[in-house]
A and B are shown apart, each in its own frame.
Chain A
Amino acid sequence: MNVIRLLVLVALGCALSTAPAAAQTAAPKPPKPQISTATKEKAAEENANPDALVLADFQKRVDAYMAIHKDAAKDAPPLKETKNPAEIKATQEALGAKIRAARATAKQGDIMTPEIQNKFRRLMYPVVTSPAPQGTAGKEVKKDVKEELKENTEERKEEGGKPVVLKVNATYPPDTPLPTTPPQVLMNLPKLPEQLEYRIIGKNLIMRDVDANIIVDLVPNAIQ
């Protein structure tokens, strides 16, 4: 009887001592798909993959944004090489102002709808969060992102900058470094036209208009 008690105690002790360690190393679980009822119904109707429909919807929304961009660019002075940096900034701001005006009611989620956000989190999970990351250097990606964020935050403090506030349809915060977007992340996300780019700011993924320097939309907590 004493032997059994002893064994039970040892087993309990082992379980208690290993539990915290296991909890520490456990990576966040992959995000569960969140597909809207409308998309599910459409997928059933068209015999299509719901994820493919989500990505097609994203493409459609990007195209709609690009139509606004191109329309605004028609009236704005073209960005071209110049010796005068003030001209570059003025051109960028002029384009930005036209786009902002055309999207005056734009809000977060207009392009990155909840189901698109969820899809993006799922696309990014394998390269930035998964316990078994993609590629040989995949586990470095999250570390790189964290390090760069730390460096940028420190530098911003040194330069007396305020904390970065990300706002859709607003200019990308001035004097704020543009963090490097890891190539693996880019490989996993839908391609963008050359006027747009993805950037990771903290845990968020933003879509930025390069020529107009505008935050087009964002995925909060893209990195979990």
Chain B
Amino acid sequence: MRSLLFVLMLLALAIPALVAQDLTVPMKNGSVKFAVIGDTGTGDKHQLAVAKQLTATRAKFPFEFVIMVGDNIYGGNSAKDYDKKFAIPYKPLLDDGIKFYAALGNHDDPSERYFKPFNMNGERYYTFKPADGVRFFALDSTYMDEKQLKWLDEQLATSGSEWKIAFFHHPPYSSGETHGSDETLRTQLEPRFVKAGVNVVLTGHEHFYERIKPQKGIAYFITGSSAKLREGNISQTELTAKGFDAGYTFMIVEIVGDNMYYQTLTDTGKTVDSGMVHRVGKVEPTPNRTSQPVVATGGSDKKIPAKPVK
């Protein structure tokens, strides 16, 4: 009887990992593998469930780092809060040496930039290069002042032919009923992104998952439901390539050459979206575009309804 109970217990522990078996990303050697989470810092059971599934997924898909798109620590920011809302949920990943790269959300105290495990180098906005040919730009969308925009222009101008992936909190495009597209921010950023050839933008703020149809050659993803959820909050708009507002999610991403594969999973390991972003090869610089890459296509857009049937 005891043996049976022990086997059952082992099975129960293994279930999340088993559910997350159907990975569609190619898992090539030498590729850039990472995960994306957003609006995480609640410390509640939903954050823990997503964190657990994220850990289980890593057993199959060995991502090297995690992008946090803001609202990393909700409410208080005492040492206890950092433990409850970050260190404890992601302990297995942190123990494995997985790096987290955070952007600031509207619920984050800017002093989070000094928290070493967020890898922000004490800056509100920063850039990092996890591998040759791929560069990330973390922006502070809560305070987009002239200084930051100037910095962004300079960084984008020197980033050459790399994959350019920007991540920040507020989505320039969104079908959310609560917030919707941040048009003010879009006015500031989009022309710069287009000019410099930014390929992908990762955001949160809206508590759901949405993949936007590529806009002006840029792929936009919203992953703001890694701990908070606004059920049924996605409006039917022309922007949506795929929306999921019925569960907690995170993304796994793999870059192989000119292709970026993505898969969005729920806290139970169910796949809600997957596909590939392909960037067009090298294009000569023009007065309107200083760099080359542009996104050519999305994933399985038309086959999946914008809103899941509940």
A163 within 8 A of B: no
Q: Which of B75, B141, B147 contacts A159 (CB 8 A)?
A: B75
Could you name 16 residue pairs across A and B whose Cβ atoms are closer than 8 Å? A79-B122, A81-B114, A81-B115, A81-B122, A85-B115, A89-B78, A135-B187, A137-B183, A147-B178, A155-B107, A178-B109, A178-B142, A179-B106, A183-B144, A191-B146, A191-B147
Please state if B110 and A141 are interface contacts (CB–CB under 8 Å). Answer: no
CB under 8 Å from chain A, chain B span 76-115: 76-79, 81-82, 106-111, 114-115
Q: Which residues of A contact B82 (CB under 8 A)?
A: 85
Please state if A85 and B77 are interface contacts (CB–CB under 8 Å). Answer: yes
Q: Report the bound CA distance from A159 to B108 in whole Å.
A: 15
Q: Report the bound CA distance from A184 to B122 in whole Å.
A: 26
Other contacts beyond A81-B114, A147-B179, A183-B185: 18, CB < 8 A? A81-B115, A82-B115, A83-B115, A86-B78, A86-B79, A88-B111, A135-B187, A137-B184, A144-B182, A151-B178, A155-B107, A175-B75, A180-B142, A180-B143, A181-B143, A183-B144, A186-B145, A186-B146
A37 within 8 A of B: no
Please state if A79 and B114 are interface contacts (CB–CB under 8 Å). Answer: yes
Contact A175 B76, CB 8 Å, known A80-B122, A88-B111, A88-B114: yes
- A-facing mask of B147-162, CB < 8 A → 1, else 0? 1010000000000000
Contact A197 B143, CB 8 Å, known A85-B77, A137-B187, A140-B183: yes
Contact A85 B187, CB 8 Å, known A79-B122, A180-B142: no
| Nearest A residue to B144, CB-CB | A183
CB under 8 Å from chain B, chain A span 148-190: 148, 151-152, 155, 159, 174-175, 177-184, 186-187
Q: Which residues of B contact A184 (CB under 8 A)?
A: 184
| Nearest B residue to A189, CB-CB | B145
For A, the interface residue count at a CB cutoff of 8 angstroms equals 41
Q: Which of A140, A177, A191 contacts B107 (CB 8 A)?
A: A177
B residues adjacent to A (C-beta < 8 A): 74-79, 81-82, 106-111, 114-117, 121-122, 141-147, 149, 170, 178-179, 182-188
Q: Which residues of A contact B146 (CB under 8 A)?
A: 186-187, 191
Q: Report the bound CA distance from A79 to B71 in whole Å.
A: 22
Q: Report the bound CA distance from A141 to B111 in whole Å.
A: 26
Please state if B79 and A89 are interface contacts (CB–CB under 8 Å). Answer: yes
Q: Report the bound CA distance from A155 to B205 in whole Å.
A: 14
Please state if B186 and A84 are interface contacts (CB–CB under 8 Å). Answer: no
Please state if B77 and A89 are interface contacts (CB–CB under 8 Å). Answer: yes
Chain B nearest CB from A172 CB (Å) reads 9
| Nearest B residue to A161, CB-CB | B75
Please state if B147 and A136 are interface contacts (CB–CB under 8 Å). Answer: no
Q: Report the bound CA distance from A205 to B147 in whole Å.
A: 20
Q: Which residues of A contact B147 (CB under 8 A)?
A: 191, 194
Please state if B143 and A141 are interface contacts (CB–CB under 8 Å). Answer: no
Q: Which residues of A contact B149 (CB under 8 A)?
A: 183
- Of B77, B109, B142, B170, chain A has the most CB atoms within 10 Å of the CB of B109
Closest CB pairs A-B (n = 9): A86-B79, A85-B82, A137-B183, A183-B144, A180-B142, A137-B187, A186-B145, A83-B116, A85-B79
Q: Report the bound CA distance from A79 to B179 in whole Å.
A: 34
Q: Which residues of B contact A182 (CB under 8 A)?
A: 184
